[in-house]
Amino acid sequence: MFPRDHVRGKLPLLNLQEEVPFTLQQGSVADLLGSMSSYNHDLRGHSERVCTLCIPMAMRLGLAGKRLLYIQLAALLHDVGKLDVPPHILDKPGMLSFQETLVVQDHSLRGEQILRSLSLPDPICQTVRTHHERFDGRGYPDGLAGEEIPLAARIVQIADAYDAMTEDRPYRAAMTPEAARFWISGLSGVYFDPVVVDCFLSE
């Protein structure tokens, strides 16, 4: 079952060689993923794992067709804005300062700007912009709450948090999958959409 097994690196539905229903240079996504790999050792791996976790949630919540393709692309590229975060901040082993935190938080806006420069559809750009909003309205960058946050972003947010918690980081050791699931459950209705949390935990 996908949250427990923490499947890595398999993207069963996304085929970037197929024709997509919008104008996009075929190399653009691959180039961005390559840049992420070169810039930070796990930035691409994290994004691929988040994409893998999003797919079954999105399907169970009724996303299909273009909407399913859009969430896959948004999940793959949700952290592309971190290409503009200096490495000494991105890999800092201790707590970030207030100013450093603001620099990191800006990655969602920068990611949106990068994707809009490639003329990706608005739903993809909006998902990247809003994947750090919180269900209670205390997230960033816009302070959106509840269903003001796009459903795709609410899905990506949980997958993003789960993968981050279950991976070693410079400033902390990884949680077990069970501990991460418990933490996500406890923040249902605060950070996360309760409906999406139930979907995530149901498998």
Q: Which pLDDT band holds residue 16 (cuts at 50, 70, 90)? A: very low
Q: Which pLDDT band holds residue 5 (cuts at 50, 70, 90)? A: very low
Q: What's the domain range around 155?
A: 2-201
Q: Are 76 and 47 in contact (CB under 8 A)?
A: yes
* Predicted pLDDT at 119: 87
Number of domains in the chain: 1
Please state, in angstroms and rounded to a whole number, the distance separating the CA atoms of residues 127 and 121. 10
Please state, in angstroms and rounded to a whole number, the distance separating the CA atoms of residues 5 and 99. 37
Helical H segments across 2-134, by residue range: 2-5, 27-39, 43-60, 65-77, 87-90, 98-105, 107-117, 122-130
Average pLDDT, the chain: 87
pTM beyond 0.95: the answer is no
Q: Which pLDDT band holds residue 2 (cuts at 50, 70, 90)? A: very low
Mind listing the pLDDT tens digit for each residue in 60-114? 999 998 999 999 999 999 999 999 999 999 988 888 999 999 999 999 999 999 9
Q: 32: domain CATH number? A: 1.10.3210.10
Mind listing the pLDDT tens digit for each residue in 129-170? 999 999 999 999 999 999 999 999 999 999 999 999 999 877
